[in-house]
Amino acid sequence: MRYRTIHTLVCFLLLMAANIQADNLTQPVSLVPCPVSIVPGTGNFHFSAKTTFAVENEEQAVEVRRFTELLTRAAGFTPRIKVGNKKGDICLTTDVGLKEEAYKLEITSKRINIHAAGVQGFFYALQSIRQLLPAAIEGGQVVTGINWIIPAVTITDQPRFGYRGLLVDVARFFSPKENLLRIIDCMAMLKLNTLHFHLTDDNGWRIEIKKYPELTEIGSRRVERPGKNFSERRNPRQGEPTVEKGYYTQDDIREIVAYAQERHIEVIPEIEMPAHSNAALAAYPLLACPVVNKYIGVLPGLGGMNADVIYCAGNDSVFTFLQDVLDEVLELFPSKYIHLGGDEARKTHWEACPLCQARMKQEKLENEEELQGYFMGRMARYVQSKGREVIGWDELTNATIPEGFIIQGWQGYGQAAMKAAELGHRIIMTPAR
């Protein structure tokens, strides 16, 4: 069992710690993640209703407006924005010599200069200012008696990693849309740029698919096991009543994606296959191997042996179904990347399934691990044919890795991902340990 959100958070915290420069450890200014360089100045810059931002274009103005909304809500005043003007208390200036996400922030008691190559750099500079402001800036109502100042300092910064991710597992533990938007906002403040959205698993199907309504009508509901930890929850019995655990409508997804895009966060959807599929198979049981002889329900917990019920690799209807699902997912998510899972697939039923065994014979596959490689490769080629790239978990290294796959390493210390790297594949490191 992989508690993905915790693992990714831990990985991020470790990376933050690794990114702290030795000469910054005693600096009085606290920012997360620690910038490349912090040089303290003298005095403070004071925000007020008279503060003006000078921006070069409307693109920059959009970023500044989103920042000033924080002051409107918490401080009760809104700084002015002058577009196409070089004179202001806070000036944004394009510097093409900087890298795409880099910025330089010069704060004195009288003026703030922000240099960046593009909107992402300006956005991250404003997030640093946000962190330097009093904590009341994060409130949703006007607070009186606050001195809205930030310390004079010069900050030069650029990210150490291009992919800075948080994985949110809404399949096992559903998060309402409003909570997710707040998570995205906090990600932006911490300069994270990738939300890995784990939407489907044994424990719930959380995205509306119009062609297959039972995925949410059945797959989003599970039995209650009050007072039991996730690993202790017994599996459902046939006929046992279920309760709604939630899902996102397609309009919800569009809102989430747009909200993230405004904050320069790419949302990568994950649709698990061939395993972690009990929620889907509870809705469409004919997509499981015909030799499965137990009740298929949405699992309230780890699932024990029931977790070995997975999509049938010998049934062409499975591939048609998953392609239909992905067609709708691709329409909702503009991300360059689609995550197809591929982890913890027990081959119990594939070994006994006549359809799977026939597929192996037809495709000249030596074993069931290679059958999974066939399964994932077939689905990857479909996604790639739509102009997207594919990510999968590091169990894919147990067989021939499909061409073009990006491997996400979670097991142990990431040894399997390193194996993939040695074979020439790109990798994302999220080691469980």
Q: What is the set of active-site residues?
A: 201, 276, 344
- The pair of three-digit structure tokens given for residue 40, joined into one six-digit string: 């303290």
- The pair of three-digit structure tokens given for residue 367, joined into one six-digit string: 């074993």
Rounded CA separation 127/190 (Å): 8
Residue ranges of E strands in 95-211: 103-107, 112-116, 149-157, 165-169, 194-198, 200-201, 204-205
Rounded CA separation 80/88 (Å): 9
Looking at the chain, how many residues does it have? Answer: 433
Distance from the Cα of residue 416 to its chain's centroid: 22
HEC sequence for 197-246:
EECEECCEECECCCCCCHHHHCCCEECCCCCCCHHHCCCCCCCCCCEECC
Rounded CA separation 180/256 (Å): 8
Question: 423-428 long-range CB contacts below 8 Å, 24 or more apart?
Answer: 425/401, 428/163, 428/165, 428/391
Rounded CA separation 81/87 (Å): 11
The sign of the CA dihedral 69, 115, 154, 45 is negative
CB-CB contact of 75 with 193 (8 Å): no
Distance from the Cα of residue 9 to its chain's centroid: 11
